[in-house]
Amino acid sequence: MCLVAEVVHFTPRSELEASANVRDFIEVCRTKLTAFGAALCFDDNVWDVTEALGLKRSKRERIVFSTWGSVNATNPTPLSEPFLSFAKAYLRYQHGLRPTKSIGTRIAALRVVEAALSENGLVPDPLNINPQILNRAAQLCADKFTKATAFRVGGQLEMLSSFMVDSHLMAVPVHWKNPIRRPRDSVRVGKEFDQERHDKLPSPAALSALANIFRIAREPSDVLVSSLVAILCSSPDRINELLYLESDCEVTQTIPSTGQLAYGLRWRPAKGAEPMIKWVIPAMADVVKEALNNIRRLTQEARDIAKWYEEHPTQLFLPPSLAHLRDCGRLSTQELADVLFVEPVDLPAAVRIWARSNKVGATGKGLQNTYSFAEVQAAILAKLPDGFPVANAELGLKYSDALCLIQENLLHFNKATLRGEVGMVSHEHLSNRLANRVDGQRSMFDRLGFTEPDGSPIGVTTHQFRHYLNTLAQIGGLSQLDIAKWSGRKDVRQNEAYDHQSDRDVLALVRSVVGDEKRMHGPLARADRLALIPRDEFARLKVPTAHTTDFGYCIHDFTMLPCQIHRDCMNCDEQVCIKGDEVREANIRMRRAETAALLEQARSATAQGYAGANRWVEHQERTLVRFDKLCEIIDDPNVPVGSVIQPSGIVPVSRLEQAAQQRGLKAPTTGLLELAADNLLPVTSEEADA
């Protein structure tokens, strides 16, 4: 008789506890949390969180719980259970704990973990998350994203790991660290930095074109956009800070010490800094005043409309010339067109399209159609912005007080401006005007005939002006604290990401600090040698690297091996001196005197019979000879200032030779044991250039 043993899977208590904790965590987030709104349907695989994030955009902000591989698909595949419910719960919990308006990296981290869990056909269970899964997720990030994005998503993976360990949601709790290194952002020379600088800063052609457009623009959309950009060029602002300025934002105060008037704008920083007044430099004050007048002129009617709806929430806005239509039961096609549109439109097609899209019925045919005034009024009132009359609850800003409030479609390329509907200027509105769009819409640069010097189209982003002004402040020597306060930052360390000084900028700053050109000698003192060379070109030179020493410059390549004769620079053929460097010449003469004194002490010790003193005599004699010859060259009036002086004929010390001597072995070649004749040869600046 064959007995078949029943296989019983043993589940450790830690895993049972983790499984129960995950179920409880999901249930709490589903039923008790209200992050993203109490009316949120937890079971939906697409969450519209535009209002929950406080965003006022024409484009809705949605969280799509799609898989890693289908994120860009037209019909993305949702994450698989049980990870899907956990991802929803985690995202909702984290937003309640750490709210942010940029949630892309959080959902990306969850997608990539699910992808790592699902490899090899496994069921993506959050209980199976462990360091190996997280390592695989980090690898997928590094393969797909840029270095900067991969680092940020890796940080979210580390946050997820810490949360699961601290909340006892892992069967085997192990703390995991993000292995993706933060990308270096301190490179100042080479093609990589040149490209980064080009991408982060507006081109000279763009700045010149914007100044011209500000003067010649006549179309309302061009006037509005160029005026907003003029304000961005006056202080390092974020675009959303500008778009939520109040109409009454100007401040003028008298400076007690000078009696002059200071002009500034009331500003509310977007990332945590306190409300402030951003003072405008005098050179830009008149430009900003003119820009604000332009914007107010184009947006005043929209604020009047918003004020009407505040005071008459159930009545359609009509200008005085159309007020008589309020008593009409029905509107003709022409009357409805006058109510709806600011500019003349194609009748009756435009009216018919509007009525159909807004579900307003018509009676009659063609131009003889009539429309119910009550239905038209209800349709337009329903199109008021979400949260009306408050534009931004966090700032306490009402639509009727907002500087950047416009009538709907004022900045649209093809649609007629709607008379009775209002909305905020959005980031997309400006982006569409400042760069050519993929759908063929031309930027205002293109339409007004401005291009780059090579004929290519000009394109800028609103954030480039913030980078540009921060870089100018760095070049101008403004303190890091002042730059941070001017930019509305809480941490001065954030300045670094906006500093794009080139090698030429840094060298110009050094020259201005030195001031007296007589104190600079050699190639750097010449105007035609101001620019540093790119790293890839520098690598092809015979001198791949250099650092300063007490006597000049050391050209030893530390990427190959450490220094073999540390601190004995005068007995090294990689030591370079520059005639005319007063500080280092003084060090050379001081060390020469010290070496002469040490030589006398060594000779005295030799005479007294001290062991090993004779070797010190040899060393000090050799060193003193080199100092003497170097000083002869420095004092020679025939050697021009700026000459490069490098020792020649010196055989560098060999570790292999030293090891052979210590073991009493014969050196591999006698040449390594011989000291070459000491010789110091001056090299003029012209020879160094050659």
- The token pair that represents 657 in the structure block: 């030779």
DSSP code of residue 176: -
**Beta bridge mates, 361:** none
Q: What is the 3-state secondary structure (H, E, C) of 420-468?
A: CCEEECCHHHHHHHHCCCCCCCCCHHHHCCCECCCCCECCCCCCHHHHH
pLDDT greater than 70 at residue 246 = yes
Give the span between the Cα atoms of 472 and 478, in whole angstroms.
9
Q: d(Cα 333, Cα 338) in Å, to the nearest integer?
A: 9
Both 440 and 354 in one domain: the answer is no
673 versus 512: the higher-pLDDT residue is 512
Classify residue 665: in a domain, yes or no. Answer: yes
Q: Supply the pLDDT for residue 679.
A: 42
Q: Does residue 350 lie within any of the structural domains? A: yes
Pairing of strands 46-48, 62-64: antiparallel
3-class state of residue 289 by DSSP: helix
> Is pLDDT above 60 for 515?
no
Residues 327-362 have pLDDT tens digits of: 888 999 999 999 999 998 888 889 999 999 999 988
Residue 646 has pLDDT above 70, yes or no: yes
Arithmetic mean of pLDDT, 469-494:
82
* Mean pLDDT of all residues in 94-111: 88
One domain for residues 268 and 360: no
For residue 531, tell me if it sits in a domain: no
pLDDT tens digits, residue range 544-601? 567 778 888 887 777 667 777 777 888 887 888 888 888 888 999 999 999 899 989 9
Burial of 545 (0-12, 13-18, 19+ CB in 10 A): middle
pTM: 0.63
Choice among 399-408, 481-490, 541-550 with the minimum mean pLDDT:
541-550
**Are 19 and 161 in the same domain?**
yes
Among 127, 40, 141, 41, CA closest to 81: 127
Instruction: Give the DSSP H/E element, type plus range, for residue 321.
Output: none
**Residue 280 forms beta bridges with which residues?**
263
Mean pLDDT calculated for residue range 125-149: 91
Look at residue 532 and tell me if it is in a domain.
Answer: no
Whether residue 29 sits in one domain with residue 103:
yes
**Rounded distance, CA 478 to CA 469, Å?**
11
Residues 323 and 354 in one domain: yes
DSSP label at residue 57: -
Total count of domains within the chain? 4
CB 403 within 8 A of CB 299: yes
Q: Do residues 392 and 54 touch, judged by C-beta distance below 8 A?
A: yes
Domain finish residue from 116, 140, 166 = 166
Of 424, 447, 464, the position where a domain reaches its end is: 424
Place of tokens 């906006």: 498
Lowest mean pLDDT among 24-33, 465-474, 526-535, 639-648: 526-535
Any domain includes 197: no
- Do 410 and 468 fall within a single domain? no
Domain that holds residue 462: 204-299+428-472
Residues 407, 434 within the same domain: no
User: What is the amino acid identity at position 231?
Assistant: I
- For residues 493 and 520, the model is more confident at 493
Average pLDDT over residues 218-244: 92
Which structure tokens are listed for 164?
Answer: 């699961």
Per-residue pLDDT at 514:
52
Task: Mark whether 677 and 556 lie in a shared domain.
Answer: yes
> pLDDT value at position 193?
67
Average pLDDT over residues 124-132: 91
Is the separation of the CB atoms in 545 and 559 below 8 Å?
yes
Compute the distance between CA of residue 172 and CA of residue 182 in angstroms, rounded to an integer. 28
In a domain, residue 509? The reply is no
The percentage of residues in the chain with a pLDDT greater than 90, rounded to a whole number, is: 39
In a domain, 4, yes or no: no
Closest by Cα among 189, 202, 199, 184 to 501: 189
Cα(515)–Cα(214) distance, integer angstroms: 38
Report residue 659: phi and psi, to 5°. -65, -40
Quick one: 457 and 383 in the same domain?
Answer: no
| Segment holding 137, helix H or strand E | helix 131-144
| pLDDT at residue 536 tops 70 | no
Taking residues 263-292, report their average pLDDT. Answer: 87
Give the gyration radius of the chain's Cα atoms. 36
**Beta-bridge mates of residue 648:** 679
641 near 579, Cβ under 8 Å? yes
Least confident of 73-77, 165-169, 476-480, 522-526: 522-526
With vertex at residue 656, the alpha carbon angle to CA 651 and CA 662, rounded to the nearest 5 degrees, is 110
Longest Cα–Cα distance of the chain, Å, equals: 128
Question: What's the pLDDT score for residue 552?
Answer: 83
pLDDT of 459 higher than 80: yes
**Is there a single domain that holds both residue 147 and residue 210?**
no
- pLDDT, position 139: 94
- Position 654 scores a pLDDT of 59
Q: Are 381 and 221 in contact (CB under 8 A)?
A: no
**pLDDT given for residue 661 in this prediction:** 63
Q: What is the pLDDT of residue 687?
A: 40
Task: Give me the mean pLDDT over the 506-514 stretch.
Answer: 60
Beta-bridged to residue 48, according to DSSP, are 62
Domain boundary among the residues 406, 424, 442 is at: 424
pLDDT of residue 677: 32
Are 147 and 268 members of one domain?
no
Q: Is the same domain home to 18 and 119? A: yes
The C-alpha atoms of residue 149 and residue 102 are separated, in whole angstroms, by 13
Q: Is residue 54 in a domain? A: yes
Per-residue pLDDT reduced to its tens digit, 404-446: 999 999 988 888 999 999 999 998 899 989 998 766 788 999 9
